[in-house]
Amino acid sequence: MLLMLTLQYTSYLTYQTTLTVASLQESNIMPPPPYIPPCAPYGSYPSSYGYQPSLGAGIFFSICFGLYTFSNILQTFRTRCWWMGLFFSCGTILELVGWIGRTVAHSCSFSGEVNTMQIASLIMGPAYTQSGVYIALWMIIKVLGTKVSPVPPKLYLFVIFGVDCVCLSLQAIGGGLAGAAFDRGTSTAPGTTIMVVGIIAQLVSGMVFAGFLCIVFPRGASQIKANRSLLLACTAIVISTTMMNLRGFYRSIELCQGWRGPLLTQQGYVIGLDAAPMLVAMGVLAVLNPCVLLRRVEREQVIEEDPNAIDAEKGRPKRLNSNVKT
């Protein structure tokens, strides 16, 4: 008799639990996640990633973005392009933090803090690099002359920076709301929607910027082709913008599918459509740093205008207070 009552009571509890979970799912509210040891062996519990993050990929990309960060900081102090260097450095630092997080996640796949850190860093990092590219184009326009720009350079810079600030704010607010909702066991849809809007707005901004390049560079083509340093700087901007827009398409579609969508839960897409494009975009900016190249253009212009403008002590062109500043 006692055994029968126990079985009936157990069946009743199971039935009530099923009804509760079903009602929560129907109302788009998930129950609070159970406690899982952050560094439990992979496979012991369902992973929020959908896979075990690769240790080799984590180490490789951490080393690469670490080297890019060192290069950007060094070149910033050498050229004194403070704003461009700051944005490039922030972008690579966030990529570095994100991939360190994914490296740690190989052993601690169930750590919510590590997961939040890596996805927030990898989503927001490219926005800072893109801001540095905006400044690089502004410097190029100052070299080529305002005639190549369809709008005043300062207006372009203020508008596009304003759009970027809004995009970053939406991504940060949306990510915070989604994370808090997940911790409470409530719907993550509102926060996710806000974050996706921010990412899509950033992608639209990047596409508009690419269209702007298609106007400025053809107008200044003769000057660009005549100067190798200027040509390399423009090439770096085109390659990095193309790679960042490719990555933006991927991230927009990925998050529109939801946190358990096929793009987010398969590691190959993260490596091939996020890490690899950003590796190329930030790598070309580190090797062909626009500020280094544009400072070289500046020195060449000084010599052309005044062949005697030589620093007698250092034996090189004097540094003038050029208009080409960040």
- Closest C-alpha to 326, from 136, 126, 129, 88: 136
DSSP string, 133-162: HHHHHHHHHHHH-GGG-SS-HHHHHHHHHH
Question: For residues 39 and 111, is the Cβ–Cβ distance under 8 A?
Answer: yes
Q: For residue 326, name the pLDDT band (cuts at 50, 70, 90).
A: very low
> What pLDDT does 27 receive?
40
The C-alpha atoms of residue 147 and residue 154 are separated, in whole angstroms, by 13
22, pLDDT greater than 70? no
Phi first, then psi: give them for residue 299, nearest 5 degrees: -65, -40
Give me the amino acid identity at 219: R
Q: For residue 305, name the pLDDT band (cuts at 50, 70, 90).
A: low
Q: To 10 degrees, what angle do helices 82-105 and 276-287 make? A: 150
The C-alpha atoms of residue 112 and residue 86 are separated, in whole angstroms, by 29
> What pLDDT does 158 receive?
86
> What pLDDT does 134 receive?
93
What is the rounded average pLDDT of the residues 283-307? 83
17, pLDDT greater than 60? no
Q: For residue 259, name the pLDDT band (cuts at 50, 70, 90).
A: confident
- Closest C-alpha to 206, from 172, 234, 169, 248: 248
What is the rounded average pLDDT of the residues 188-212? 87
44, pLDDT greater than 60? yes
- Closest C-alpha to 203, from 249, 135, 256: 249
What Cα–Cα distance (Å) separates residue 245 from each residue in 106, 170, 217, 241?
Answer: 28, 18, 18, 6
The C-alpha atoms of residue 25 and residue 19 are separated, in whole angstroms, by 10
Instruction: Find all residues with CB under 8 Å of 239, minimum gap 6, and list them.
Output: 280, 281, 284
187 Rama sector, left if φ>0, alpha if ψ -120 to 50, beta otherwise = beta
Q: For residue 6, name the pLDDT band (cuts at 50, 70, 90).
A: very low
323, pLDDT greater than 50? no
Q: For residue 92, name the pLDDT band (cuts at 50, 70, 90).
A: very high
pTM of the model: 0.80
178, pLDDT greater than 80? no
pLDDT digits (tens, 9 = 90+) for 117-151: 898 899 889 989 999 999 999 999 989 998 999 98
> What pLDDT does 320 receive?
36
Average pLDDT, the chain: 81
Higher pLDDT, 286 or 185: 286
Question: For residues 86 and 301, is the Cβ–Cβ distance under 8 A?
Answer: no
Higher pLDDT, 155 or 176: 155
94, pLDDT greater than 90? yes
231, pLDDT greater than 90? yes
**Structural domain spans, the chain:** 130-317
